[in-house]
Amino acid sequence: MRNAQRVGILAAMLFLLATSLVGASGVNSYWQRMGDGFPNVVTVHEYVYELVTPELEISARLPQLVGVANEKWEAEFNQRLRDQFHMYVEEMKDMIVEFGDPGEDYHGFPYQGIVDFEVKLNQGGLLSLAIINYSFTGGAHGMTYFEYINVDLTSGHRIAFTDLFDSEVELERAAEIIDAKIKEEVEHFFIDSFSVTDFQEDQGFYLQDTQAVICFGLYELAPYAHGIQEFAIPTP
């Protein structure tokens, strides 16, 4: 478990990256812009990385933006994602030295890292990305971490959970939807009810055209076998 916790550095770094891009404050029109906005001129390309050694196998696709009006912001966004990813690669290499058995006669299972992304929304001046990081460093199974980058491209503002759910009424609405879903299959969860106080300070979510999807990682609400938990909250 110690290895799995350490390998989560990519997820933590990606979250820090997103928070570092804050510019001007956003306005509370996100719900309308998600569904009614025109497609962005910004396109999302990919940075591809492959590494295969007897001890370590890494395969990655990272999002890289093209067409942002603020070219400096765009370059910093893209470079920071690449920099943080390469720090993750070095972290994996360090873990092999510390916990593994590298060398010419290595016959164990190689450590493995897979990084990928999905574009969840790219319209209305908004961009929502999900970064997926699977890491195997020994043990019964690997771990998958999701991080979500939601950005207002018109300002560089990172859209926080409380920017979208910006009132007690909206938080209660989201909590009630999640609570109802949990109660439908309560045997699959660690908890039998959900309330506003169960939201995390850095609550994960992504945007779609008619809904926001609130996400919980492995072991947060349910056993590993039930995977990442996602709850769709429709536009109010």
CATH of the domain at 56: 3.30.565.40
pLDDT at 209 over 60: yes
Residue 108 has pLDDT above 70, yes or no: no
* pLDDT score at 23: 42
Which residue, of 92, 125, 159, is where some domain finishes?
159
Is residue 44 scored above 50 in pLDDT?
yes
Looking at the fold, whether 149 and 222 belong to one and the same domain comes out as no
pLDDT tens-digit readout, 56-77: 999 999 999 999 999 999 999 9
pTM: 0.85
Q: Are residues 39 and 49 in the same domain?
A: yes
Query: What pLDDT, on a 0 to 100 scale, did the predictor assign at position 9?
Result: 44
DSSP states of the chain as a string? -HHHHHHTHHHHHHHHHHHHT--SPP-S-HHHHHHHPPBPS-EEEEEEEEEE-SSEEEEEEEEEEE--S-HHHHHHHHHHHHHHHHHHHHHHHHHHHHHS--STT--SPPEEEEEEEEEEEEETTEEEEEEEEEEE-SSS--EEEEEEEEEETTTTEE--HHHHS-SHHHHHHHHHHHHHHHHHTGGGSS-S---GGGS-TT-EEEE-SSEEEEEE-TTTSS-GGG--EEEEEE--
Q: How many domains does the chain have?
A: 2
Q: How far apart are CA 24 and CA 151, in angstroms?
A: 11
8 A C-beta contact, residue 28 and residue 103 = no
Same domain, 154 and 167: no
For position 3, what pLDDT does the model report?
Answer: 45
Domain endpoint, select from 141, 159, 177: 159
Domain carrying residue 39? 1-159
Same domain, 20 and 37: yes
Q: What is the pLDDT of residue 102?
A: 53
pLDDT score at 28? 59
Q: Which of 32, 30, 36 is nearest to 166 (CA)?
A: 30
